[in-house]
């Protein structure tokens, strides 16, 4: 792959990452406004923080481990938040 093409792909991926992070932050702000307790907010914040670290993975193995941590954090948030929406 040429250097120019690689740079374009990296730029596109970076733009997409910022777009998705914005969506996640919007969701976090909604949780902060609507949640009935601090535990829900803390779980949401932890899930966002965990997913924010995905780009720091050094290789595929670490990326997979970080993905599992993020998935666990999101599942914990959903479990805690479920009582707010029932």
pLDDT in tens, 8-63: 666 676 788 888 889 999 999 999 999 999 999 999 999 999 988 788 888 999 99
Question: Which pLDDT belongs to residue 11?
Answer: 64
Rounded CA-CA distance 30/16 in Å is 21
Question: Which pLDDT belongs to residue 1?
Answer: 53
Question: Which pLDDT belongs to residue 52?
Answer: 85
Question: Which pLDDT belongs to residue 38?
Answer: 96
HSE-up of 61 (CA within 13 Å, CB side)?
0
Q: Where do the domains of the chain lie?
A: 3-85
- pTM across the whole model: 0.78
């Amino acid at each position: 792959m040429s250097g120019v093409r690689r740079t374009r792909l990296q730029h596109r991926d970076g733009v997409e990452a910022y777009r998705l992070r914005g969506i996640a932050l919007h969701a976090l702000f909604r949780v902060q406004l609507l949640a009935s307790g601090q535990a829900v907010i803390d779980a949401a914040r932890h899930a966002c923080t965990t997913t924010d670290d995905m780009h720091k993975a050094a290789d595929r193995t670490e990326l997979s481990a970080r993905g599992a941590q993020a998935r666990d954090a999101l599942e914990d948030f959903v479990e805690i938040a479920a009582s707010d929406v029932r």
